[in-house]
Amino acid sequence: MSSSSSHSLADLLAVRPFLHFWWARLTGQLASQMVMVALGWQMYELTGSAWDLGLVGLAQFLPALLLTLPAGHVADRHNRARIVLACTALQWAAITLLCTATLTDSITREGILGLSVAFGVARAFQMPASQALTPSLVPPSLLARAMAVNASGIQVAVIGGPALAGGLFALGIGWVYGVSVGVSALSLWLMSRVRVPAAESRGAADWRSVLDGVRFLWQRPVLLGATSLDLFAVLLGGATALLPIFVKDILQAGPWALGLLRAAPAGGALLMSLWLARHPLQHGVGRQLIGWVAVFGVCMGVFALSTQVWLSFVALFISGVADMVSVVIRQTLVQLETPDDMRGRVSAVNSVFIGASNQLGEFESGATAAWLGPVGSVLLGGVGVLLVAGLWIRLFPALWARDRLQPE
C-alpha cells in the first residue's frame, strides 16, 4: 500500500504543468498574505480609524461577492490558465503600485482602498478558474492527491506569509512590499509556463447560464450536502474572530499566545494535507466527511471551555486537521462529479459559499459574543456544528452512504 501511494505521489510530481501551477499558487498566495498583513497595518497607521480598517476588508470582499458567479461563467468559456495569469498580473501590478507609493511617501487612504478593490477583483476571477484548472492538469486517478497537495501549498503560504511579513517589518514596510513584488513576479513567470487547451466558446453570457452552477449543485444531493455542510460548519465555528478576547481575558496571556493560537489551525491543516497527499482517502468518504465535521464541532467546544493555552492550542490544531479532511473531500467530490464545461461555474458557487460563510461567521461570532459572552458564543457554535452534522446524515443519506471519491 505504501509503495503504491509513494509511486502515485511521484507520478503527480512528474506532471510538469501541475508542478508549475502549484508553485505559482504558492508564491502568489505568499505574496498576497504578506500584503494583507501590511495593508491593514498601513491603513491604521495612516488614519488611526478602526472604521477605515474595516473598509479595507469590505473593499476586497464586495467585488469577490458580486463578481464570482460571472467569473465562473468566464472560466467555463475561456482558457483558465490565461485567466489565472491575468489575475496574477493584476495582483503584481497592484503590489508594485503599493510599493512605489509607499517608497515615495505618496500613499493615501483612497489609494489603499482602490488597490484593495483591485485585489478583490483579481481574487473573484482567480478562485473559480484556479479550482476548475486542476482537473485539466492531472488525470482523475491523481485528483484527490492533487487537491491535498494544493491545500498544503496554501497552508504553507497562510503560515509563512504573515511570519515573513512580520520579520520584514523590522526593516520597514517598504521591504514587505518590495519582497512581495518579487515573489508575485515569480508567481507570474511560473503561471506563464502552464499550458492547457482553451475551453470551447459556448455562446454569450446571460443570467441563466451564470446561474447554471447553482442549479447543478441543487440537483445533486451529494454535492449539495457536502458544500452546504462546509458552509454551516464555517458559519457556526468562527472562533478565530474572538481569539484576542480569549487570549487577553480568559487565558490571560500575551501577544505570543495570540500568534501561537492563530497559527494552530493552519499548522494542523498543513500536517493533514501532507498526510493526505501520500495516503489519499479510499473508502467511506461520506462518513469521514460528516465525522470530521463533528470532530471540528467538539474542538470548538473544548476551546470554548479551556482556560489553558496548551489545551486551546491542541483544540485549534485538531480543528485544522478536521477542517482539512472535509475541504479535500468536498473539493475533490465537486471536481470529479462536475463536467469540465461546468467546473468554473460550480467552483464559483463554492467560492461564494466559502467567502460568505467566512464573513458571516465572523459577524455571527461577534453578535452572539455580545449576547452570550465569548465562551457562550463559541460553545453554542460547537454544539450547532454537532447538530448540523447529525441533521445532515438524515437530510443527505446519499452523502452519508458515499464510499469512494470517484463517481459511482
pLDDT tens sequence across 20-60: 999 999 999 999 988 887 887 788 778 876 577 667 777 88
322 pLDDT above the threshold of 60: yes
358 pLDDT above the threshold of 80: no
pLDDT at residue number 360: 64
Residue 201 falls inside a structural domain: no
| Mean pLDDT score across all residues of the chain | 83
pLDDT at residue number 205: 47
For residue 40, what is its C-alpha cell?
491593514
Same-domain check for residues 333 and 367: yes
What is the total count of domains within the chain?
A: 2
Q: What is the 3-state secondary structure (H, E, C) of the chain?
A: CHHHHHHHHHHHHCCHHHHHHHHHHHHHHHHHHHHHHHHHHHHHHHHCCHHHHHHHHHHHHHHHHHHHHHHHHHHCCCCHHHHHHHHHHHHHHHHHHHHHHHHCCCCCHHHHHHHHHHHHHHHHHHHHHHHHHHHHHCCHHHHHHHHHHHHHHHHHHHHHHHHHHHHHHCCCHHHHHHHHHHHHHHHHHHHCCCCCCCCCCCCCCCHHHHCHHHHHHHCCHHHHHHHHHHHHHHHHCCCHHHHHHHHHHHCCCCHHHHHHHHHHHHHHHHHHHHHHHHCCCCCCHHHHHHHHHHHHHHHHHHHHHCCCHHHHHHHHHHHHHHHHHHHHHHHHHHHHHCCHHHHHHHHHHHHHHHHHHHHHHHHHHHHHHHHHHHHHHHHHHHHHHHHHHHHHHHHCHHHHHCCCCCCC
Same-domain check for residues 267 and 382: yes
pLDDT tens string 154-205: 878 878 887 788 778 778 889 999 999 999 999 999 999 987 755 544 444 4
Q: At 184, which CATH number?
A: 1.20.1250.20
Same-domain check for residues 186 and 218: no
Residue 198 falls inside a structural domain: no
Instruction: Please state the pTM of the whole predicted model.
Output: 0.72
pLDDT at residue number 7: 44
Its domain, for residue 239, covers: 208-408
Say what percent of the chain tops pLDDT 90. Answer: 30
CA dist., res. 241 & res. 231, Å (int): 17
For residue 308, what is its C-alpha cell?
489553558
348 pLDDT above the threshold of 80: no
Residue 197 falls inside a structural domain: no
Residue 202 falls inside a structural domain: no
Instruction: Tell me which of 124, 159, 191 is where a domain ends.
Output: 191
pLDDT at residue number 347: 75
CA dist., res. 391 & res. 385, Å (int): 10
Same-domain check for residues 72 and 213: no
Residue 233 falls inside a structural domain: yes
Same-domain check for residues 109 and 216: no
Same-domain check for residues 184 and 320: no
CA dist., res. 23 & res. 28, Å (int): 8
Contact by Cβ (8 Å): 286, 401: yes
